[in-house]
Amino acid sequence: PLRCLLSMKSVAPALGAGNGVVLKPHEDSPITGGTLIGKIFEEAGVPKGLLNVVVTDIKEIGDAFVEHPIPRIISFTGSTKVGSYIGQLAVKNFKKPLLELGGNSAFIIMEDADIDYAVQAATFSRFTHQGQICMSANRILVQKTIYQEFIDKFGAKVSTLTTGDPSDPQTILGPVINNRQAETLQQLIAQVS
């Protein structure tokens, strides 16, 4: 669902301004990041051809998607590494890049914070969609005076998160999106073990 919202941030304003859009969703989320959006706009009455969804592995189309002479703006949401490349390629081809790149979001908790509320908010921020969204808190910074209280309560809260089949309403944490993400998590766990 979140990929749908992220894609809409670029698609809806462009269509609203009268521009045609070619949307290429990430290959791991072609439905929620692309075809679902196409279907929504089709059912809303957007004329055929105004919004086009291209579902493919990026290796198949390479730089042609950005280098094509028609688009004047290239909008990209994703990693800093890929976004930097796309931004440079867009500028090289006299296009305006609009980039929303993966960050290293900090969640800051000051000593006057409501600790229980901070625990709830930090847990939501870190673990929504298995922590695989650009808005996840990748760092939690806590003032020393409340650090231990926060860590104890945060650890207790996180230990209650249920894992399993995402179709089960009791599941809070489902599977990660691909093997690459699973391997990255295994590496992070190995680093702290």
Q: Which residues are catalytic?
A: 100, 134
3-state SS assignment for residue 92 = helix
Placement of tokens 């796309």 in the chain: 86
Q: How far apart are CA 41 and CA 145, in angstroms?
A: 51
Q: How far apart are CA 91 and CA 185, in angstroms?
A: 34
Please answer whether residues 125 and 137 qualify as being in contact, where contact means their C-beta atoms are separated by less than 8 angstroms.
Answer: yes
Residue 34 Cα distances to 28, 79, 87, 91, angstroms: 11, 18, 21, 25
Please answer whether residues 123 and 154 qualify as being in contact, where contact means their C-beta atoms are separated by less than 8 angstroms.
Answer: yes
